[in-house]
Amino acid sequence: MSVNQSLKPITIDTNSENHLCVGGCDMIELAKEYGTPLYVIDEQTLRSVCKEYKKSFEKYNNIKMMYASKALCNSAVTRIMDEEGFGFDTVSAGEIYTVYKAGVDMSKVLFNGNNKSRKELEMALDYNVGRFSVDNFYEADLLNSIANEKNKIADILLRLTPGIECHTHEYIQTGQIDSKFGFDLSQVDEIVKLIKNKYVNLRLRGVHAHIGSQIFELKSFSDEVEILIKEIARINDKFMLDLDEMNIGGGIGVKYTEADNPPNIKDLADVVAEAMHKYSVNIPTIYIEPGRSIISTSGVTLYTVGSSKTVNLDGKIKKYIAVDGGMADNPRPSMYQAEYVADVVNTAVLKERKKENVTIAGRFCESGDILIKDIELPELKAGDIICVYNTGAYNYSMASNYNRVEKSAMVLVNNSQSDIIVYRESLEDIISHDNIPSRLRK
């Protein structure tokens, strides 16, 4: 079973105190030491999925693994991904700066995004980012101009929308024609002509597509490879070029609930290889850039239970259990109707308390701040710690200070050791960028 097919980190265990552990660390002790809400990343799970990706694709010699930093980007995770031999797909100056400061070889970095600013493009060129995924005509013109000013050549891929609508949430589909991302196939010739005849500071190396996220159907990837490799062959033939790079993005799904059945990483590798070998063209270098499937399963979030209430709905009793986090540290349930699974950390209560069906509510001032609807757990009491699984991806990276609540801390666990990798914000941090004009000061 692939790591992305597991609900929980591979090191999940129960100790002699009947407490859940991850990475050899007692979760109740983690909550005591670092406070809650607390993001926890299991290093062994993270490294295991990296190795699984590399082993699954090892038969394909010219494959380049890229980590989609948007899933979770901080200095410690970047270091681990670099040690595991991954490059980085970045989408902002902040992500570029993070990987740069972590000591990454910047030739292994790709800069992606649909509206890169002049400042970001200048920074990426100054830091010698290896590839730019050019998304539109405006960006091509701007990047060429900046590269010319700096007397540099920018190596680029063309971001294409291949017209594939994968079965996932509409907000995380990116490969369909009606998308804010990329050139549609009818625009390719025009941009290639401009690059070849006008934009002399751009060097076209290949094409890039990303069809979406949380994808369970492998045929979507097969279709994508077929479209892209045919397009490379067509461009090479028509414009007498020698493009040999193809970035197929990421997007393979993970298991958030027992109902989810994501594909095996090895099966993904087999589908990509099979699609590539159908065609008698020079096999280009393939970039693959998983994000969610790399980091999600390694992460859990710990919360402390607080208040509760019951509601009588025409004779049916509904119970709400509130925790000390919610939509600001995990916006996915409110944004995407995402579903999660949780356990009470002190498993001894499984024998002591009856089970009940509850809804886990967040602490924020929104009716839609619900983390988990209708989950069966032992009767929860104020002070209990619960663990929500599979929160490594798009939880911290999409977190906010809604209601002016401090962002949560993050720890890395491995071999019974825990290390802080993101400090919890303080109230002083919250106001640190505020300014009161002199005319309003007392």
**Cα separation, 392 vs 181, whole angstroms:** 25
For residue 168, pLDDT beyond 90: no
What single-letter amino acid sits at 165? E
Comparing CA positions, the residue from 364, 431, 412 lying closest to residue 72 is 412
pLDDT in the model for residue 405: 98
Which range is most confident: 70-79, 178-187, 213-222?
70-79
Catalytic positions, please?
365
**Cα separation, 102 vs 254, whole angstroms:** 27
Domain boundaries, the chain: 3-41+297-431, 43-295
Lowest mean pLDDT among 33-42, 151-160, 174-183: 174-183
pLDDT in the model for residue 326: 98
pLDDT in the model for residue 173: 39
Contacts of 213 (CB under 8 A, 6+ apart): 168, 172, 174, 250, 251, 253, 291, 292
Confidence grade of residue 174 (pLDDT, cut at 50, 70, 90): very low
For residue 310, pLDDT beyond 90: yes
Predicted model pTM? 0.94
Confidence grade of residue 172 (pLDDT, cut at 50, 70, 90): very low
Fold agreement (3-41+297-431, 43-295): no
**Cα separation, 346 vs 78, whole angstroms:** 32
Confidence grade of residue 178 (pLDDT, cut at 50, 70, 90): low
Considering the chain, what percentage of its residues have pLDDT values greater than 70? 96
For residue 306, pLDDT beyond 50: yes
Confidence grade of residue 175 (pLDDT, cut at 50, 70, 90): very low
Q: What is the tens place of the pLDDT at every residue in 47-65?
A: 999 999 999 998 877 889 9
CATH topology of domain 3-41+297-431: Lyase, Ornithine Decarboxylase; Chain A, domain 1 (2.40.37)
**Cα separation, 225 vs 247, whole angstroms:** 9
Q: What is the CATH number of domain 43-295?
A: 3.20.20.10
Residue that has been written with the tokens 């839609």 in this structure:
368
Q: What is the tens place of the pLDDT at every residue in 188-236?
A: 999 999 999 999 999 999 999 998 889 999 988 988 999 999 999 999 9
**Cα separation, 332 vs 439, whole angstroms:** 41
CA torsion 210→212→214→218, rounded to 10°? -70
The tokens describing 404, both together, are: 């002016």
pLDDT in the model for residue 1: 85
For residue 261, pLDDT beyond 90: yes
Mean pLDDT along residues 172-194: 78
For residue 170, pLDDT beyond 60: no
**Cα separation, 12 vs 24, whole angstroms:** 8
Contacts of 438 (CB under 8 A, 6+ apart): none
For residue 245, pLDDT beyond 60: yes
Contacts of 157 (CB under 8 A, 6+ apart): 110, 131, 132, 133, 134, 204, 205, 206, 207, 208, 245, 247
Q: How far is CA 80 from CA 77, 84, 224, 335, in A?
A: 5, 6, 30, 29
Q: What is the tens place of the pLDDT at every residue in 375-411?
A: 999 999 999 999 999 999 999 999 999 999 999 999 9
The per-residue pLDDT of the chain, averaged, comes to 93
The phi and psi torsions of 370 (rounded to 5 degrees) equal -120, 125
pLDDT in the model for residue 335: 92
Contacts of 272 (CB under 8 A, 6+ apart): 57, 60, 221, 222, 225, 248, 286, 288
Q: What is the tens place of the pLDDT at every residue in 14-29?
A: 999 999 999 999 999 9
